[in-house]
Amino acid sequence: MKGNHSWLSSLNPACKLFAHLLVMFMLMAISDFRETLAIWLLAVAIGISIGGWRISYLLKRLLPYFGFFVMIFWMMAAFGKGEETIWSWAWFHVTKESVSHGLTISLRMLGFVTYGLLFTSTTDLTSFIMSLIHQCRLSPKWAYGLLAGFRFIPLFQSELSQMKAAHKIRGYKQKNSWKAFARYSLPLFTQGIRKSERIAIAMEARGFTGSRDRTYYQTTKLAGKDFVYFIGLMVVVFGVWMAGFVL
């Protein structure tokens, strides 16, 4: 997670996350595919206008999910229940209702992914954690622990690939994936525990106590533009939702 230099990435991460979570909740409550489509298009529009997304980036990131989109849609549409048959062949039975359901569910999935991506692609991990401390009253003990943990991910990846190579040389054949998982995870965990103990000691030796009684190098604050984004997004999404009832 890294920030880009867009307007969206200058917003307060906790506030932005809260806004996106609320939109996701509303998406869950909406059962009309036109409204869902509008809210998803809104996310794409935000990403391109103030989120610093390029079309190429958007395609690269969302393309795998379009595959899911088609699959979910087809499963819902072709096997769903409904009255008004549009098309029917062999065991496929497409009805007006099932098409509408399929579109809602698959667009909802796409909406979730896009709002999530909108958050992760414009948020710096450190400032996100800092805003959890400052705006959400998360204890520094957890926050800094979380940050230290993130540093493990690339380390785990390189260790795993080395273990796989070692197994290959020794002629280990992967018979079932659960056994392989147990095989790789034990050494990774032991290394992980040892490393995290060392990190904990190193942090404490540098005077870290985990209490809130400390100063901060990076502070995140709530500013006017955070409210503008939050309220703006809420009004538009809620408006789209309500428009469905009126029309």
Partner 1 sequence: MQTNMYLGCNHLSVRFYQHRKKIVDDITLSIHPGEKLLILGPSGCGKSTLISALSGIIPEFLDAEVTGEVVRRERAGVMFQDPDSQFCMLHVDEEIAFSLENRRIPRGKMDEMISDVMDKAGLNIDKRTSIESLSGGMKQRLALACILALDPEVLFFDEPTAQLDPQGRIEIFELLKNLSRQTGQTMVFVEHVLDGCIEWMDRVILLNKDGRMIGSGKPEEVLREFDAEIKEAGIWRPKLFPVKWNDVVENHDHPVSAELTRFIETRSEEHRFVGGNPMIRVEDATIGYGKKAIVQDLNLTIHKGEWISIVGKNGSGKSTFLKSLARLESLRKGKIYFLEKELSKWPDVELYEKAGFVFQNPELQFIADMVFEEIAFGGRQRNWTEEQIQEKTHQLLREFGLEAHRDAHPFTLSLGQKRRLSVATMLLFDQDVLLLDEPTFGQDEKTAKELIKKLKERQAQGTTIIMVTHDMNLVDQCSDKVLLLKNGKAAYYGTPYSLFMNEVLLEDSSLVPPLHYKLVHARKELSLV
Judged by CB under 8 A, the chain residues 109 through 138 that form the site for partner 1 are 125-126
Closest to partner 1 by CB, 5 or 170: 170
Judged by CB under 8 A, the chain residues 196 through 215 that form the site for partner 1 are 196, 198-209, 213-215
- Say whether residue 96 binds partner 1 (CB under 8 A): no
- Say whether residue 166 binds partner 1 (CB under 8 A): yes
Closest to partner 1 by CB, 21 or 200: 200
The single residue listed with the structure tokens 């018979």 is 175
Binder among 81, 137, 173, 175 for partner 1 (CB under 8 A): 173
Least separation in angstroms between residue 204's CB and partner 1 is 4
Closest to partner 1 by CB, 34 or 195: 195
Footprint on this chain of partner 1 (rule: CB under 8 A) = 125-126, 144-145, 147-148, 150-151, 154-155, 159, 162-163, 165-173, 183, 187, 190-191, 195-196, 198-209, 213-219
